[in-house]
Amino acid sequence: MALTTYKQKRSFNQTPEPTGGKAKAGELRFVIQKHDASRLHYDFRLEMEGVLKSWAVPKGPSTDPAIRRLAMMVEDHPYDYRDFEGIIPEGNYGAGTVIVWDEGTYTPIENFPDKKSQEKYLLKQLKEGSLKFVLYGKKLKGEFALVRTNGMGDNSWLLIKHRDKYASDTEITEKDKSVQSGKTIDKVASTSKKIWGRKIIEPGTTAKDKSAPVKEKPAPKKTTAKKASTTKPAPVKKKINADLDDAPKAPFPQTVSPMLATLVDKPFDQPGWLYEIKWDGYRALSLCNKSEVNIISRNNKSFNEKFYPIYEAVKLWGIYGIADGEIAVLNDKGISNFGALQNWRSEADGEIVYYVFDLLWLDGHDLT
């Protein structure tokens, strides 16, 4: 975008926002500004090509990998906007109070020798719709991704935290003070001197400025930060149509292995035989005790953390049973990619699916 759109939306004789500025040499910078405009939101900005590529995040960032936050891409902002904290007056675009909620440096996840090669790679990812980077901020740290969504327009993205040592289900937005001034957005709204049209009168002096005063936006009422809702759909209550009457009763197995392929001389087709598609993925067993779930590999290694979207989905089944299936990552054409599965960290790395082939045990009955 350049800064044309940014400048067209603003009257710089009526707003304290910067008109532009050159990026500095050294590390790439990022900033997140909390902005109490018509609706409270967070502006996430990454330095690229000498400007700040920008996204409006309505609910703010999250450090929980299971939570994906909508991020709407907006116009590029000038580099020196990263330091802006103050009040945009009523009647101007984006009127409201702004604080620097977090700031720091960032890099691509991959290693590059210099800033120029980092930017080149990041711009390629931006064009492809999947940005993966590491933040070194005062509040946000570790790996994140910005992923353009399908079916919601080119400007709709998702901000996602990768699962690393900085991941947490703590509501990070409850840390509500500016990293620049140490003030909350309410405090800045009531005390900021950075507002066009306001004359600051020091004690013992009189006002000589005859310019018409600008009506200031009243300080917003204080609210208690609440943890973002993590309400999930109720478990599927549709009855599983399995004929358990003829199945032998058996306790929950202490050990269980997935069915594996057997080599034969030539293919055959016989009554009573069904064939599974080889999806080029990881075989996975789901051991379910209602909402308690453990998804394991054929070597008994847990997939719960690595493939957390599958884990969260299986918990919603609400069954007491064991399912056998295969985890795969699909590209945009629906074709599985084993390399992408091996390197999968989050939805930014591709669509992850769980193909269930068989129900091995259910409600005290052996179905093998």
User: For the stretch 148-181, what's the b/e string if a residue is b when 16 or more beta carbons lie within 10 angstroms of its beta carbon?
Assistant: bbeeeeeebbbbbbbbeeebeeebbbeeebbbbe
Q: List Cβ neighbours of 359 (8 Å cut-off, separation of 6 or more).
A: 240, 242, 321, 322, 323, 324, 367
What element of type H or E holds 308? helix 308-315
What element of type H or E holds 185? helix 185-191
CB atoms within 10 A of CB 147: 21
| Dihedral sign computed on CA atoms, order 56, 33, 38, 171 | positive
* 361/368 Cα distance (integer angstroms): 7
238 part of the active site: no
Give me the catalytic one of 9, 278, 290, 301. 278
Q: List Cβ neighbours of 115 (8 Å cut-off, separation of 6 or more).
A: 25, 26, 27, 28
Asked if residue 87 lies in contact with residue 189, where contact means CB atoms within 8 angstroms, the answer is yes
- Which residues are identified as catalytic? 278
